[in-house]
Every structure is written in C-alpha cells, then in structure tokens.
Amino acid sequence: MTRHFLRDDDLSPRDQRAVLELALAFRDDRFIRTPLTGPRAVAVIFDKPTLRTQVSFTAGIAELGGFPLAVDGKLARIGERESIADTARVLGRQVAAIVWRTFSQDRLEQMAEFSGVPVVNALTDSFHPCQILADLATIAQHRGGVGGLAGRTLAYVGDGANNMSHSYLLGGTTAGLHVRIGTPEGYLPDASILADATAIAADTGGSVSVVHSLAEAVTGADVVATDTWVSMGQESEAADRETPFVPFRVDSAAMALAAPDALVLHCLPAYRGKEITAEVLDGPQSVVWDEAENRLHAQKALLSWLVEGT
C-alpha cells in the first residue's frame, strides 16, 4: 500500500519517532542513505511562493541520489489545464514521489488518490507538516534526542486558525507534547483538528489547550513558537490583523515568562518587530537557523521512510 504524508497524523507516534531519529542521523551524516540512487526523479510542484521548501527539497532529493524535477504550478495549472487526477496518473508513472506546495488540502488528497506513488504535503492552507517535523527534530537536537520530546510544553502564539497551528496540534501531540495555542478570540483552530489532536494526546500522554492570553500560553513553556500574523493569501487583511495580534508578540517580556532555557522557533520568513522582536529572533534562545536547516534533514528522512517502506 502506498504511503503518503498529507497531514501530520498520517504518521503514528512510532512512525514519527522513526522519521525523527533518521532526521538526526542525516544531520550527523548527510549521505547515510541514498534510496533515490539511479537517479530516480521526484516531482516537486510549487503553486505558492517558496524559499526554504524549494531549497530543502531540491538539495535533499539530490543528496538522496535522486533528481528533483521542479514543476512550476503557474505553467502546469494543475486542476485548470488538466484535472488533478489525470496529472497524478501521468506523474505517478514517471517519478518515485510527488511533493506539492499548494492551496486547498483537497487538491493534495486528489493527487494522492490517483498517483500510485507517495505524495508529500509541502504546505497547504490547512497544514504544514514537514515544517513541524523539522521543528520537532530541532527540539530533539537541543534537548536530549527524540526520547526527550514527550512531556515538554510547546506554546504556539499567533494565528490559531492557520496551518502552523493545526500542524503543531497534530504533530506535537503525536510526539507527546503539551501543546498550548495562544491566539486572539476569533482565530480558533478548526474544531475537527482540535478534536483529532485531543484524541491523539489521550494516547500519547500529551495535552491540548487553547487560550486567549499570551501569558497563559507561554508561562513555563519549554518551547515558544510563532509565525507571521498574515499568511499567504491574507495580505488584504494585514491592517485588520495588527490590533488583535500585537498582544501576542514574542518579545523579551514574553520570554521572561517561559522556562529559563526555553527555545524559540519561527518557521520563517519572520517580520522583526511584528510577531517577534529582533532581540528574541536573533538572541541566544533562538534556534530558528537550526530549524531552517532541519527542513533538509527531516524531509530526507521522510522521503526515505516513504520510498523505502521501512
């Protein structure tokens, strides 16, 4: 049966641990596995602006021995010029896997239904699961390995309704984290995703909470994460979002409430002075550059796991 990674909970706790352990192993030795030697091609499709996703998947596929076949979504016009199902059937006969950075989650699900090869969510409006694998690998890197994840508290502050919030809920609870979402009223996570995360937490020993105070979210937290207040496609809302989100800015006062050795995460791009201050982003508790690098290692581990079937 073909395995896909469309949302964070497509990996069981055991699967996630295996991928994260392999990610850390790739960090130590970037060429320990080359399952795409041939080279086998992997289609990497971009419908949205990209830097880290493009670089990390392109470099990672090459380091796995494969050929990264970049597909410009504006030229391909998948779902317009040709149906997603027909596109999937064409690609699946020629590539080892498909990586897609796109808009709605249902586009990705259609690709997976008809491709016959692994499909990876490189970002949708609903989830950003590869980023969360990198984030978990970063925490593990700095806090005693993958076995040290369970029981830690991660506070995500910002837009509780965006893809990062959803993926922290699912991926974080899969790792056994206590996930706190700090967000203004009116920016709540999707109720069904919150319910799924709560169910996962019941099995892994983690927990989920949604609060509307930055202090309640970050107090005592082991990890403080944030993201831009304005996601792609929401640019017209920027002015309206400023007022409700300012109280959730990650600054030195916020970090003083967290655990003394708390780590700071940001998926980037960051807007210094908006969701996070320069002194925090560039300060000693920030691990965002390791986090960005770990996109490479985590995605190599994921592709290896999907393609090799082990």
Is 203 labeled as catalytic in the residue annotation? no
Is 131 labeled as catalytic in the residue annotation? yes
Query: What is the 3-class SS of 56-85, one letter each residue?
Result: HHHHHHHHCCCEEEEEEHHHHCECCCECHH
Is 107 labeled as catalytic in the residue annotation? no
CA 140 remoteness from chain centre: 15
Name which of 1, 4, 5, 7 is nearest 166 in CA terms.
Answer: 7
Contact 4, 112 (CB under 8 A): yes
Catalytic residue among 266, 267, 297, 299: 267
Is 297 labeled as catalytic in the residue annotation? no
Catalytic residue among 101, 166, 212, 249: 101
Catalytic residue among 10, 196, 227, 290: 227
Is 130 labeled as catalytic in the residue annotation? no
β partners of residue 68: 42
Catalytic residue among 16, 131, 141, 299: 131
Catalytic residue among 241, 249, 295, 297: 295
Amino acid at 130: C
Is 227 labeled as catalytic in the residue annotation? yes
Dihedral sign, CA of 240, 242, 246, 250?
positive
Catalytic residue among 27, 128, 180, 297: 128
DSSP-assigned letters across all residues of 91-106: HHTT-SEEEEE-S-HH
**Token pair for 288:** 């965002």
Compute the distance between CA of residue 225 and CA of residue 111 in angstroms, rounded to an integer. Answer: 31
User: What's the Cα-to-Cα distance from 270 to each of 80, 180, 228, 240, rounded to whole Å?
Assistant: 33, 21, 6, 19
Catalytic residues, which ones? 101, 128, 131, 227, 267, 295
